[in-house]
Amino acid sequence: MAKWVYTFGDGKAEGAAEMKALLGGKGANIAEMSNLGLPVPPGFTITTEVCTYFYAHDRQYPAELRDQVSAALDHVGQLAGRRFGDVEDPLLVSVRSGARASMPGMMDTVLNLGLSDLTVQAVAAAGDARFAYDSYRRFITMYSNVVLGLDHHHFEEILQTYKDDNGYSLDTDLGADDWKEIIVAYKKLVETELGKPFPQDPHEQLWGAIGAVFGSWMNARAITYRRLHDIPESWGTAVNVQAMVFGNMGETSATGVAFTRNPSTGDKRLYGEFLVNAQGEDVVAGIRTPQDITEAARLESGSERPSLEVLMPEAYAEFSGICQTLELHYRDMQDVEFTIERGKLWMLQTRAGKRTTKAALKVAVDMCREGLISRDEAILRIDPAGLDQLLHPTIDPSAERTVLAKGLPASPGAASGEIVFNSEDAVAAKQAGRKVILVRIETSPEDIHGMHAAEGILTTRGGMTSHAAVVARGMGKPCVSGAGSIRVDYTAETLTAGGKTLRKGDMVTIDGGSGQVLAGRVPMLQPELSGDFATLMVWADAARRMGVRTNAETPADARAAVQFGAEGIGLSRTEHMFFDEGRIVAVREMILADDEKGRRQALAKLLPMQRADFVELFEIMKGKPVTIRLLDPPLHEFLPKTEEEIAEVAKGLGVHPQKLRERAEELHEFNPMLGFRGCRLAISYPEIAEMQARAIFEAAVEAGKATGEPVVPEVMVPLVAIRQEFDLVKARIDAMAAAVSKEKGVEIKYHVGTMIELPRACLQAADIARTAEFFSFGTNDLTQTTYGLSRDDAAQFLGPYLQRGILEQDPFVTLDQVGVGELVKIAAERGRSVRPDIKLGICGEHGGDPASIRFCETVALDYVSCSPFRVPIARLAAAQAAIEHGKAAVSEA
Ligand code: ADP
Ligand code: MG
Ligand code: MG
């Protein structure tokens, strides 16, 4: 018989950590904790297969499910010492969703299930009436919200009015009788809104909650989250039903969340928050400000309220021991949830903790040094894309600051932007090209798209574990949370802080590293790339096989790239040099000249400038390989457009402006995209290629002398389709090398190769490789000509469709997807079949994309080349690719 239900509790479990696919992350880890003998309230997990079955069978459950749930409930009842549905001493349970991958805030938990008008009396009679009615009102609120679909704010309004009428400020001020009155109002509300009374039968409640969890798998929030995080719909969610333990049983009870290390910095210190006499999500909801778990953290934060360490020393000692046990067991930093019921500690959840990149690096390096993980594991633990966070600027310490307010340093990095007060405005501003800081009292899953669009997030409520903080850290965006001294008025769209009132559109800067909120735009500093980052990069460099180069044409880019660890230049475009002010006139003269003589005259003006460009690049790169691509774009891109520009060029050429206009018209008639550009330019006007080749070789000689490091330039012919084209241009380059060599009396070493960026070139690769010494895959054009979309195209044209859910998949084609990667593979194989040592690299935007880099490893390219700021990302991704590829090879053997 199929098994749909797995129990846990009392030091045993039918499941285990590796059963995440079946039990969901939460259920599998609860089972694991139970197996480890940790104090976990007993319960059971209904598997993700039930979810799959449910959707495959018109929302029906498998026939055996009811009996299996009922047997599991009995088992839990035995372990807990009370029976579900009992009117004398009822077992209360929580119903918790839990998918394979954690989906924070996407699906809601129902607590205290099993309470009814009848059972609440039994619980009250057993001792603590306030506790009983507090639990019941929580249950009604949660159940009505999650299962019955009534909005929270209905209930909040009733509670707030009651508090106002009776002069209460905190929930903890209310006693049993107060809650009883509120419960009456709550139930009336449910009946009015739904035309049905609040369900009183515990079994009806339980099945209602289970159905709601499965139902929530297909709610809009969950679907959006899955799309953003590439989680397949087929995975499904599990449901965990677990005996309740109570953090709201008075002053010796508490509930909290913690990280086994600091999730912002990675420091090896227990880090967390708790609330006395509270339940469930109270800590993260920001209703009350939570207290620190450790005394050290309390001293640091200057909080006056006692730490858990001081308040409940025994429970704290056990808890910190368990945190250590979990870290050693999972060999990773954990994010745990716990409850203390009358001094007794219960563990409710553990999972790998989300962390900033800075923390990820520190934890990985520390754990490797502690002997917990290997270097390879340390390398694999870091998300390459996340390194971007470290490359974010921080506020210049010497800059003047007008501090408006201080909140919690919830996610590092600094950002400036105009303030907006809702997600729609954030998205609209972003689309209009403006930078914004999203200011909210607190955020919820509905704000995800606004958070995506914003440069940074500022909230006035909530702690380090609030929704805003957790999500911002995940996104790598700066966030200041819980800036309580700021007053936000959504209606007026203003915020007031430190005696100042700012309106929507006013500029602020937030510093997610210190928690400061500053007026105006503040100067920023580039980050230091030392410490754990440097250590991990050294390990990554040792582990990777592919080289990492950069795409750079300006000295500033080249210098930055070298600092980020670039081992050469994979692509230096020369057209940008031509657009330079002071040169463009000479360029236009060259293009519009009538004959070769005119062109050569103009080119002679350009030669010294072009040579100086290369000398500078070669000197910066100090003998590292530099690939220079000959002029590529359609010539009409350089043409003068305004009357003034035309007049200037006409004067330089000594012709009438009208004649110039006609010549420009003529040039426009060539096919501008694929035809008259790339190597076709050099074939029609060989003198252009000759001038560039001369500049390259003369510069190589000069820079080699200056730095003492011989320069071996790689001259790249663009947009070749067949070998004959390449050969024509190569002949000119070779001749020029010989000429310069003779003039200078030195031997010149160099390589001539081509950019492979047309599907035809990929298919012709064997033939082209007969004369080309290297290929560099220009995957931007290759993607476009394979009818994929570049990353920019995808973002520009299809982003809105993705957001609105019209398209399921990001149409950007990574190399591991069918099409472009296949062409690269074909070209690599064919090229090598003729020239086994042909050097293969990639210089399109894919060279900085981790998924594509993984693909490059599988076809054994020699190097990837990417923009300077992506060089560290590429170094790490290449290392991970090598490790994973090595592992795959071993397991295949
Ligand atoms: P999420 O996935 O949103 O974190 P959880 O299922 O972990 O949701 O539930 C949220 C909170 O509810 C937990 O952190 C815990 O405080 C509380 N909770 C869940 N189950 C129980 C239980 N059996 N006893 C007491 N508290 C519980
Ligand atoms: Mg939650
Ligand atoms: Mg949880």
pLDDT score for 585 = 86
Bridge pairing between strands 237-243 and 291-292: unpaired
Residue 41 beta carbon below 6 angstroms from any ligand 1 atom: yes
Q: Which of 92, 94, 206, 273 to mutate to test the pocket of ligand 1 (most atoms within 8 A of CB)?
A: 94
Cβ count near 890 (within 10 Å)? 8
Nearest ligand to the C-alpha atom of residue 281: 1
DSSP 8-state secondary structure symbol assigned to residue 442 = S
Which residues are designated catalytic?
467, 843
Mean pLDDT of 114-131: 94
**The ligand 1 atom nearest the CA atom of 243:** 23
For residue 282, report the distance from its CA to the centre of ligand 2, in Å.
10
**The ligand 1 atom nearest the CA atom of 279:** 16
For residue 246, report the distance from its CA to the centre of ligand 2, in Å.
17
Residue 244 beta carbon below 6 angstroms from any ligand 1 atom: yes
Residue 96 beta carbon below 6 angstroms from any ligand 1 atom: yes
Contact status, residue 625 vs residue 569, Cβ threshold 8 Å: yes
> In the structure encoding, which two tokens stand for residue 794, read together?
């995808």
* Distance of alpha carbon 566 from alpha carbon 551, whole angstroms: 10
Contact status, residue 733 vs residue 685, Cβ threshold 8 Å: no
Identify the H or E element spanning 717.
strand 714-717
Mean pLDDT of 292-320: 96
Minimum CA distance residue for ligand 1 atom 17: 280
What is the per-residue burial (b if ≥16 Cβ within 10 Å, else e) of 197-226? ebbeebeebbbbbbebbbbbbeeebbebbb
Minimum CA distance residue for ligand 1 atom 13: 280
Mean pLDDT of 646-654: 85
**Which position has the higher pLDDT, 444 or 465?**
444
pLDDT band per the 50, 70, 90 thresholds, residue 674: low
Residue 30 beta carbon below 6 angstroms from any ligand 1 atom: no
**Which position has the higher pLDDT, 802 or 289?**
289
Minimum CA distance residue for ligand 1 atom 11: 280
Report the Cα 254 to chain-centroid distance in Å.
Answer: 33
* Residue 283 in this model has a pLDDT that exceeds 90: no
For residue 554, report the distance from its CA to the centre of ligand 2, in Å.
48
Torsion of CA 540, 542, 548, 552, to 10 degrees: 80
Torsion of CA 812, 814, 818, 820, to 10 degrees: 90
| Torsion region of 9: left, alpha or beta (phi above 0 gives left; psi -120 to 50 gives alpha) | left
* Residue 391 in this model has a pLDDT that exceeds 60: yes
> In the structure encoding, which two tokens stand for residue 335, read together?
């994010």
What is the per-residue burial (b if ≥16 Cβ within 10 Å, else e) of 587-605? bbbbbbbeeeebbbebbeb
**The ligand 1 atom nearest the CA atom of 107:** 3
pLDDT score for 270 = 97
pLDDT band per the 50, 70, 90 thresholds, residue 616: very high
Helical ranges in 60-201 per DSSP H: 65-80, 117-125, 129-146, 152-166, 176-194
pLDDT score for 289 = 82
Bridge pairing between strands 90-91 and 93-99: unpaired
For residue 109, report the distance from its CA to the centre of ligand 1, in Å.
6
For the chain, helix, strand, coil in percent to 5 are: 50, 15, 35
| Spatial CA neighbour of 483 closest among 504, 512, 454, 506 | 512
pLDDT score for 174 = 93
| Spatial CA neighbour of 264 closest among 164, 363, 188, 180 | 363
Residue 281 beta carbon below 6 angstroms from any ligand 1 atom: yes
pLDDT score for 819 = 77
* Residue 575 in this model has a pLDDT that exceeds 90: no
Q: Which amino acid is at 783?
A: T
Q: Which amino acid is at 227?
A: R
**3-class state of residue 457 by DSSP:** strand
* Residue 475 in this model has a pLDDT that exceeds 80: no
From the CA atom positions of the chain, what is the Rg in Å? 33
* Distance of alpha carbon 270 from alpha carbon 292, whole angstroms: 10
Exposure of 835 in the CB half-sphere (CA atoms within 13 A)? 19
pTM score above 0.95 = no
* Distance of alpha carbon 390 from alpha carbon 756, whole angstroms: 33
Burial class from Cβ neighbours inside 10 Å (0-12, 13-18, 19+) for residue 267 reads middle
Contact status, residue 431 vs residue 526, Cβ threshold 8 Å: no
**The ligand 1 atom nearest the CA atom of 102:** 2
pLDDT score for 263 = 93
DSSP 8-state secondary structure symbol assigned to residue 19 = G
Question: Residues with Cβ < 8 Å from 889, sequence gap 6 or more?
Answer: none
CA angle, residues 267, 272, 277, in degrees to nearest 5 = 165
pLDDT score for 448 = 83
For residue 235, report the distance from its CA to the centre of ligand 1, in Å.
22
**The ligand 1 atom nearest the CA atom of 257:** 14
- Total residues belonging to the chain: 893
For residue 486, report the distance from its CA to the centre of ligand 3, in Å.
29
pLDDT score for 893 = 67
* Distance of alpha carbon 134 from alpha carbon 589, whole angstroms: 84
Q: Which of 349, 465, 467 to mutate to test the pocket of ligand 1 (most atoms within 8 A of CB)?
A: 349
| Spatial CA neighbour of 294 closest among 313, 280, 266 | 313
Give CA separation, 516 vs 326, 483, 810, in Å.
Answer: 34, 9, 36
Convert the pLDDT of each residue in 800-840 to its tens digit: 555 555 555 555 566 666 578 999 999 999 999 999 999 99
Mean pLDDT of 390-407: 85
Rounded to 10 deg, the angle between the 596-621 and 555-563 helix axes is 30
Rounded to 10 deg, the angle between the 20-35 and 48-56 helix axes is 160
pLDDT score for 743 = 97
Residue 278 beta carbon below 6 angstroms from any ligand 1 atom: no
> In the structure encoding, which two tokens stand for residue 536, read together?
């991990």
Torsion of CA 214, 216, 218, 221, to 10 degrees: -160
* Distance of alpha carbon 331 from alpha carbon 373, whole angstroms: 7
| Spatial CA neighbour of 110 closest among 149, 79, 64 | 149
Residue 348 beta carbon below 6 angstroms from any ligand 1 atom: yes
| Spatial CA neighbour of 766 closest among 757, 775, 758 | 775
SS3 labels along 164-197: HHHCCCCHHHCCHHHHHHHHHHHHHHHHHHHCCC
Convert the pLDDT of each residue in 356-371 to its tens digit: 888 999 999 999 999 9
pLDDT score for 404 = 94
**3-class state of residue 655 by DSSP:** coil
For residue 109, report the distance from its CA to the centre of ligand 3, in Å.
9
pLDDT score for 818 = 57
pLDDT score for 236 = 92
* Residue 187 in this model has a pLDDT that exceeds 60: yes
pLDDT score for 445 = 75
> In the structure encoding, which two tokens stand for residue 111, read together?
């607590």
pLDDT score for 810 = 55
Contact status, residue 722 vs residue 768, Cβ threshold 8 Å: yes
Give CA separation, 93 vs 3, 53, 218, 245, 550, in Å.
Answer: 22, 24, 24, 9, 57
Contact status, residue 126 vs residue 112, Cβ threshold 8 Å: no
Residue 312 beta carbon below 6 angstroms from any ligand 1 atom: no
* Distance of alpha carbon 846 from alpha carbon 551, whole angstroms: 12
Contact status, residue 110 vs residue 218, Cβ threshold 8 Å: no
> In the structure encoding, which two tokens stand for residue 79, read together?
């372990």
Nearest ligand to the C-alpha atom of residue 257: 1
pLDDT score for 847 = 92
Convert the pLDDT of each residue in 746-791 to its tens digit: 999 999 999 999 999 999 999 999 999 999 999 888 887 776 665 5
For residue 349, report the distance from its CA to the centre of ligand 3, in Å.
6
* Residue 65 in this model has a pLDDT that exceeds 80: yes
Mean pLDDT of 72-93: 96
Contact status, residue 198 vs residue 191, Cβ threshold 8 Å: yes
Convert the pLDDT of each residue in 135-171 to its tens digit: 999 999 999 999 999 998 999 999 999 999 999 988 8
Residue 29 beta carbon below 6 angstroms from any ligand 1 atom: no
- Report percent pLDDT > 90 for the chain: 70
Q: Which of 8, 33, 109, 138 to mutate to test the pocket of ligand 1 (most atoms within 8 A of CB)?
A: 109
Give CA separation, 312 vs 318, 319, 687, in Å.
Answer: 10, 10, 84
* Distance of alpha carbon 455 from alpha carbon 451, whole angstroms: 8
Residue 242 beta carbon below 6 angstroms from any ligand 1 atom: yes
For residue 47, report the distance from its CA to the centre of ligand 1, in Å.
18
Averaged pLDDT of the chain: 91
pLDDT band per the 50, 70, 90 thresholds, residue 527: confident
Q: Which of 348, 350, 444 to mutate to test the pocket of ligand 1 (most atoms within 8 A of CB)?
A: 348
Residue 339 beta carbon below 6 angstroms from any ligand 1 atom: yes
For residue 477, report the distance from its CA to the centre of ligand 2, in Å.
20
- Map tokens 């010539």 to a residue: 635
> In the structure encoding, which two tokens stand for residue 226, read together?
């899955």
* Distance of alpha carbon 474 from alpha carbon 497, whole angstroms: 28
Convert the pLDDT of each residue in 307-351 to its tens digit: 999 999 999 999 999 999 999 999 999 999 999 999 999 999 999
**3-class state of residue 239 by DSSP:** strand
Burial class from Cβ neighbours inside 10 Å (0-12, 13-18, 19+) for residue 744 reads middle
**Protein residues with C-beta less than 5 angstroms from the ion ligand 3:** 337, 349
Helical ranges in 550-656 per DSSP H: 555-563, 575-579, 584-592, 596-621, 643-653
Residue 245 beta carbon below 6 angstroms from any ligand 1 atom: yes
Helix and strand counts by DSSP (H, E) for the chain: 37, 34
Bridge pairing between strands 90-91 and 83-84: parallel
Residue 216 beta carbon below 6 angstroms from any ligand 1 atom: no
pLDDT score for 606 = 93
**3-class state of residue 760 by DSSP:** helix
Give CA separation, 460 vs 172, 421, 474, 537, 737, in Å.
Answer: 22, 12, 20, 37, 66
